[in-house]
Amino acid sequence: MKQFVIAGTLVGALALGGPALAQQSTPQTPAPAKPAAGQTADKPAAKPKRQSSGDNSAAAHTAPKEQPARAEEPTAPGAMALGTVRLPKGVKADGKELPAGSYQVRLTADEAKPDAKGSTEKLERWVEFVKGGKVAGREVVSIVPAAEAKLVQKDTPPPSGGSKVETLKGGDYVRVWINKGGNYYLVHLPNG
């Protein structure tokens, strides 16, 4: 519909302006330049050479663009207990079955060494799901420092010192989200 209106407007403008408007809108090709003294018509005049003044002052160069400020290298906390979570259904942790139930979640000092470009190894660690004093499963956790939390947060976070367990859109994963000391700890577990 819009294409028809635009084309109709152009045709209407040409009709109202008549031949004078049509002549104005047609591009004109410039007349060929006359050869300079001592030049033939088939050979163009040489371009004048730019003279170098040898000036390397700041005025002769453009100023470099200012680089954005870089964030400080994030630091991750050491091994610690993150809290207790209740998994409403069975999931997989590190490829192994992790049945529904309540678990103590502990952050380990072991870095996950991710292959993802742009991720920080210090912020990709392992967490353990402990039940009855025994490790029932372990999975990679992504640590989001408090300084960066506002940049990545879209959903309502769990309260300080609390946790949130939810099935993500599509139902393929369960996200365990823990808020401890202002940092967010995110664990994504495939449904079992």
pLDDT tens sequence across 53-102: 555 555 555 666 665 555 555 566 788 999 999 999 999 999 999 999 99
Write down how long the chain is: 192
List Cα–Cα distances, 178 to 123, 126, 165, in angstroms: 14, 14, 9
Q: What is the pLDDT of residues 119-173, one digit of tens each?
A: 555 788 999 999 999 999 999 999 988 778 777 667 888 898 999 999 988 889 9
Closest among 165, 178, 175 to 86, alpha carbons compared: 165
Q: CB of 189 within 8 A of CB of 176?
A: yes
